[in-house]
Amino acid sequence: MISRIEYKGETVDTKPTQAMVANATKGLELRKEHGRGGTLVGVRRANQIKNRENLSPQTVRRMKAYFDRHQVDLEAPKNNDPDANGYPGAGLIAWYLWGGDEGYSWSQRKVEEMNRIDEESDRSARAQPGDLSVGDFVSWRTEKGKYLGKISSIRTEGTTDVGDEEIAASPQDPVARIRVFARMDDGYQETDRYVAFPFSRLTKADPPEERKRQAEDLNATIIKALENKLEEHREEVGNDPRKKTTLGALEKVMSRGIGAYKTNPSSVRPNIGNAESWGYARVNSFLYALKNLKFRRGTHDTDLLPAAHPLSTKGD
């Protein structure tokens, strides 16, 4: 069996180790014996590990995220003390399903390896001094997503505020002042907002006239992102009928968020960069309400909540 996958031009070994196989097998046996521990997602993950399947980069990242979230569960006596009441606890059994301690350290190593590849890939694409001029289009990435803009000016000395940071411009790493273009359904639209970034964070991009032809890919990109969010949500909530949702429901929430950005801009927080970001924020809020049976703030899309959810207005 091939134990390596290609990840951004490099190969990464994502085949579970024998120690992970032993832990996952133990987790399946304990779950069957005691009738507790983990969800069906955990069982599926245990079977993947047991069969030593080549895990996808997305699965490896989710494994690490699972361990990061649930490490605290092991502090309970029933999850670490064989003499404690209720041992082995559901938390310990679930931990085994995902590969146990070996799975945790393995997923940490693999994520670090992929992050290194990501960093090197981004670095190789970043602009160098002399690559960019006033009038060029550039893209950059923040925690909210990827953005497009047009350079209005460039400075090679002095300092410029970039968010909460003060960035020093230099001939080796100039700072560009950029007019932001917002992504719309049919392409990009020029806005009146400006940002500033050093060249080392920018990548030269096609102008929006050319990018407009790529707008057909936008929906596919959004749907793929929603599929990822849905899978992660299912891993967290299992089969609880109050918390289940569908891809179709998330697509409706996303569409409503994008529509609100365009038709009711006063409802949008000022730190939201574009319609897509606002749509994702609305989806995240919806998923929070599903998982926690309450909204973090304000209510919306209650008609799309499952009928068993306490806030659902489905059918009203």
Is 129 among the domain residues? no
Cα→Cα distances 298→236, 302, 316, Å: 23, 11, 19
Q: Partners of 204 in the beta sheet?
A: 138
Tell whether 112 and 142 lie within a shared domain.
Answer: no
Is 309 inside a domain boundary?
no
Q: What pLDDT, on a 0 to 100 scale, did the predictor assign at position 269?
A: 61
pLDDT tens digits for range 144-180: 667 889 999 999 998 877 666 677 888 888 999 999 8
Say which amino acid occupies 8: K
Cα–Cα distance, 303 to 316 (Å, whole number): 8
Please name which of 303, 291, 296, 264 lies closest in space to residue 281, comparing C-alpha atoms. 296
Task: Using CB atoms within 10 Å of the CB of residue 305, give its burial: 0 to 12 exposed, 13 to 18 middle, 19+ buried.
Answer: buried
From residue 255, give the alpha-carbon distance in Å to each of 215, 262, 296, 301.
15, 11, 20, 11
pLDDT at residue 216, as a whole number: 42
Q: Specify the pairing of strand 175-184 against strand 187-198.
A: antiparallel
From residue 2, alpha-carbon distances to 46, 51, 198 in Å are: 19, 13, 42
Is 141 a member of any domain?
yes
d(CA 77, CA 89): 8
Judge whether 145 lies within some domain. yes
Asked if the structure places residue 310 within a domain, the reply is no
Of the residues 166, 188, 207, the one at which a domain ends = 207
Residue with tokens 């990009």: 188
Q: Which pairs with CB-CB distance under 8 Å and at least 24 residues apart come from 8-13?
A: 8/117, 8/118, 8/121, 9/117, 9/121, 10/117, 12/57, 12/110, 12/113, 12/114, 12/117, 13/110
Shared domain for 94 and 158, answered yes or no, is no
| Cα–Cα distance for residue pair 126/3, rounded to 1 Å | 32
The pTM of this model reads 0.49
**pLDDT value for 103:** 97
Within a domain: 231: yes
Asked whether residue 312 is assigned to any structural domain, the reply reads no
**Contact 138/149 with Cβ under 8 angstroms?**
yes
Same domain for 236 and 297? Answer: yes
Q: DSSP state, 301?
A: -
- The dihedral of CA 293, 44, 282, 201: what is its sign? positive
Number of domains in the chain: 3
Q: Note the pLDDT of residue 67.
A: 94
Answer yes or no: are the C-beta atoms of 279 and 255 closer than 8 Å.
Answer: yes
d(CA 153, CA 132): 10
Same domain, 158 and 78: no
Task: Please count the other Cβ atoms lying within 10 Å of the Cβ belonging to residue 49.
Answer: 29
> How many CB atoms neighbour CB 89 within 10 A?
22
**End of a domain among 152, 183, 207?**
207
Domain boundary among 124, 152, 183: 124
Domain containing 158 equals 137-207
Mean pLDDT for back-to-back runs of 10 residues, the chain (316 residues): 67 93 97 92 93 90 92 93 94 97 96 84 68 90 79 89 74 90 70 86 79 50 86 86 89 85 62 76 93 90 90 77
Among 153, 158, 159, 108, smallest CA distance to 135 is for: 153
Any domain includes 315: no
Are residues 100 and 56 part of one domain? yes
172, 238: one domain: no
